[in-house]
């Protein structure tokens, strides 16, 4: 692997992956292509900028000319860039389809033209949709319920179609909910941690019984690197973590870590669509040697500690939460009116 293109490398998971892959001896150059949307920040790459192997390109995966120039000469692509925040997809589905589906097709086109040796498309357990019981294997039907998950399912199929049609060596990874340092403060663990740090109340959606599987971001990146190196082209690999929690159980752990109690929690109506449970079977990735090794409680404590020590990194992203909430609810109201 001489030169690797990482799309979305200034985002949460992508930036952790860039730091990891930069330290691989057989990687000569890592090119990060990132549009620096609200979710992408150069600061996430931090010390990675010290590496002479890193080239950072501020640009859009929809820019076919730019993508073509960057893919030329790359032996591998790891494709993280996406619109990834489920709640935003409820009122801006178009951006999700454009970036996630058309963006993936643009990257796959360039991968085909330049004969890359491996293309890892990074996806999610949400494509399988809710599973009240049991676990989804890689052959389970795709039953996404929200625009984010539907756009990811479509992007998985587009990526895999380039394997079947043109022989592009595509692998798809589907991971569960990631957590770890410098995740955007809109996501539940950062949101609840930062609200508690500010002495603000938490809002728990619905009955708080929705189950998510939690995977430390470093474990996901290790799994993605494994698939990059050893994954069989045309195959999908589920990357699950070891910890299933309801949102109520997760809240209890965060309250305990921050020395707060249930008086800090208000119950609010459930969000527009909230799948009851996701669960994946991870045997296939285990066959490649994938094992999530990070202890959940320890990882959570370190994550909360990162938010405690780095308010300069997250507070500016929530500078005016009231205004953001008003904009969000206004957008949702107008969407409802449009569908009335």
Residue 184 is a binding residue for ligand NAD (CB under 6 A): yes
Task: Locate 133 and state its tokens.
Answer: 């019981």
Nearer CB in complex with ligand NAD: 4/260: 4
How far apart, in whole angstroms, are the C-alpha atoms of residue 206 and residue 28?
A: 49
Catalytic residue chosen out of the listed positions 29, 34, 83, 125? 125
The residues with which 7 forms a beta bridge, in sequence order, are 33, 79
CA atoms within 13 A on the CB side of 222: 16
Whether 26 is catalytic is no
Instruction: Report 127-146 residues binding ligand NAD (CB under 6 A).
Output: none
Contact between 128 and 177 (Cβ < 8 Å): no
Candidate list 4, 39, 149, 304; residue touching ligand NAD; CB under 6 A: 39
Instruction: Report 143-162 residues binding ligand NAD (CB under 6 A).
Output: 152
E strand or H helix that includes residue 295: none
Task: Locate 261 and state its tokens.
Answer: 């109690």
How far apart, in whole angstroms, are the C-alpha atoms of residue 232 and residue 234?
A: 6
Nearer CB in complex with ligand NAD: 100/251: 100
Candidate list 75, 124, 135, 243; residue touching ligand NAD; CB under 6 A: 124
Nearer CB in complex with ligand NAD: 69/334: 69
Catalytic residue chosen out of the listed positions 29, 83, 126, 156? 126
Candidate list 27, 37, 142, 157; residue touching ligand NAD; CB under 6 A: 37
Candidate list 10, 70, 101, 240; residue touching ligand NAD; CB under 6 A: 10
Nearer CB in complex with ligand NAD: 60/279: 60
DSSP secondary structure of 164-196: HHH---EEEEEE-EEE-TT--TTSHHHHHHHHH
Instruction: Report 78-97 residues binding ligand NAD (CB under 6 A).
Output: 80-82, 84
Whether 337 is catalytic is no
Task: List strands edge to edge, sheet with 243-246.
Answer: 177-179, 211-216, 243-246
How far apart, in whole angstroms, are the C-alpha atoms of residue 226 and residue 120?
A: 10
Whether 2 is catalytic is no
How far apart, in whole angstroms, are the C-alpha atoms of residue 184 and residue 190?
A: 7
Catalytic residue chosen out of the listed positions 148, 162, 237, 278? 148
Candidate list 178, 238, 243, 247; residue touching ligand NAD; CB under 6 A: 178
How far apart, in whole angstroms, are the C-alpha atoms of residue 168 and residue 117?
A: 8
User: Annotated catalytic sites, by residue?
Assistant: 125-126, 148
Q: What does the binding site for ligand NAD look like in residue numbers (CB under 6 A)?
A: 7-8, 10-14, 33-37, 39-40, 60-62, 80-82, 84, 99, 103, 122-124, 152, 175, 177-178, 184
């Amino acid at each position: 692997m001489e030169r690797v293109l990482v799309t979305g490398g200034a985002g949460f998971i992508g930036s952790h992956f860039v730091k990891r892959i930069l330290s691989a001896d057989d990687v000569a150059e890592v090119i990060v292509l990132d549009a620096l949307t609200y979710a992408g920040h150069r600061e996430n790459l931090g010390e990675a900028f010290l590496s002479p192997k890193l080239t950072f390109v501020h640009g859009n995966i929809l820019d076919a000319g730019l993508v073509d120039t960057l893919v030329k000469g790359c032996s591998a692509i790891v494709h993280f860039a996406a619109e990834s925040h489920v709640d935003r997809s409820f009122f801006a589905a178009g951006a999700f389809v454009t970036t996630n589906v058309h963006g993936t097709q643009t990257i796959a086109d360039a991968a085909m033209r330049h004969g890359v040796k491996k293309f890892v498309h990074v996806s999610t357990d949400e494509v399988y949709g809710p599973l009240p019981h049991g676990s989804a294997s890689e052959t389970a039907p795709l039953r996404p319920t929200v625009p984010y998950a539907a756009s990811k399912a479509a992007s998985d199929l587009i990526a895999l179609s380039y394997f079947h049609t043109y022989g592009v060596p595509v692998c798809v990874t589907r991971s569960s909910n990631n957590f770890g340092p410098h995740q955007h403060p809109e996501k539940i663990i950062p949101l609840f941690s930062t609200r508690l740090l500010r002495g603000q109340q938490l809002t728990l959606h619905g009955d708080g019984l929705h189950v998510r599987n939690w995977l430390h971001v470093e474990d996901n990146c290790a799994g993605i690197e494994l698939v990059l190196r050893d994954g069989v082209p045309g195959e999908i690999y589920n990357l699950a973590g070891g910890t299933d929690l309801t949102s109520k159980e997760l809240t209890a752990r965060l309250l305990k870590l921050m020395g707060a109690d249930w008086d800090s929690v208000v119950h609010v109506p459930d969000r527009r669509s909230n799948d009851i449970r996701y669960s994946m079977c991870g045997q296939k990735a285990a066959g490649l040697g994938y094992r999530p090794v990070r202890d959940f409680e320890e990882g959570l404590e370190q994550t909360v500690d990162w938010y405690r020590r780095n308010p300069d990194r997250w507070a500016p992203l929530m500078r005016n939460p009231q205004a953001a909430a008003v904009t969000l609810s206004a957008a949702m109201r107008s969407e409802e009116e449009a569908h009335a």
